[in-house]
Amino acid sequence: MKKLFLTLSAAIAVTFAANAQTEKGKTILGGNVSYDYTKVKDDDGSLQGFSVLPSVGVFVSDNLAVGLGFGYTWNQEDDGTDKTKVGEFSAAPYARLYKGDGNFKFFGQLSVPMGWGTSKENDTKLGNTERYGAELSPGFAYFPTSKIGIEFSVRGLYYQNTSLKLEGGEKVSTNSFGLNANSLAPRIGIQFYF
């Protein structure tokens, strides 16, 4: 009987600790680091990219956090003859709403990713880049402890406008949008709650 009581007490304590993670006034720390490399067999070309975007947020009410990610992104396209490089500083303000109780909570995150940088071809500046977008990402978080959340999410619904203002004054702009809910390639991350 004593073992059963201790087990139930521990389970209740873990549940209350997990619920306390998304209370008003708490802080969430995390971010994103990625590296991608693509090369086609028997082709001289390759694509590679690197991104680092730490983020911090504050719960403005129970289960609702607002925050900002700020970082750097670098991409290179090598076609075997020319190398085109884009380096940009990026910012991504976001709002995240959690739903659920206990150690598992579902969330939806609305973010507004932006970036400003430079495009170069063979170390010659082509122009300045700007990127603006909106992204709605669903996911869920598992809280194994009172300070750590392990997250699984997908990109979700997104829109992005990218423009390159060439040195001669001409501006080239592209728009992309879509729905990416590939459960076989989720985003996996760890967030810290204080």
Domain boundaries, the chain: 2-193
**Confidence tier at 21 by pLDDT (50, 70, 90):** confident
Confidence (pTM)? 0.78
- Give the residue-averaged pLDDT of 23-34: 90
Output the CATH code of domain 2-193.
2.40.160.20
Write down the residue that tokens 């970036």 correspond to. Answer: 115
pLDDT at 18 over 70: no
Q: How many residues does the chain have?
A: 194
The Cα–Cα gap between 127 and 116 comes to 11
* CA 144 to chain CA mean position, Å: 21
Q: Which of 81, 168, 175, 75 shows the shortest CA–CA distance to 127?
A: 168
CA distances in angstroms from 128 to 64, 94, 164, 176, listed in the order given: 36, 25, 6, 19
pLDDT at 75 over 90: yes
Q: What is the pLDDT of residues 125-174, one digit of tens each?
A: 999 999 999 999 999 999 999 899 999 888 889 999 999 999 888 999 99
**Confidence tier at 184 by pLDDT (50, 70, 90):** low
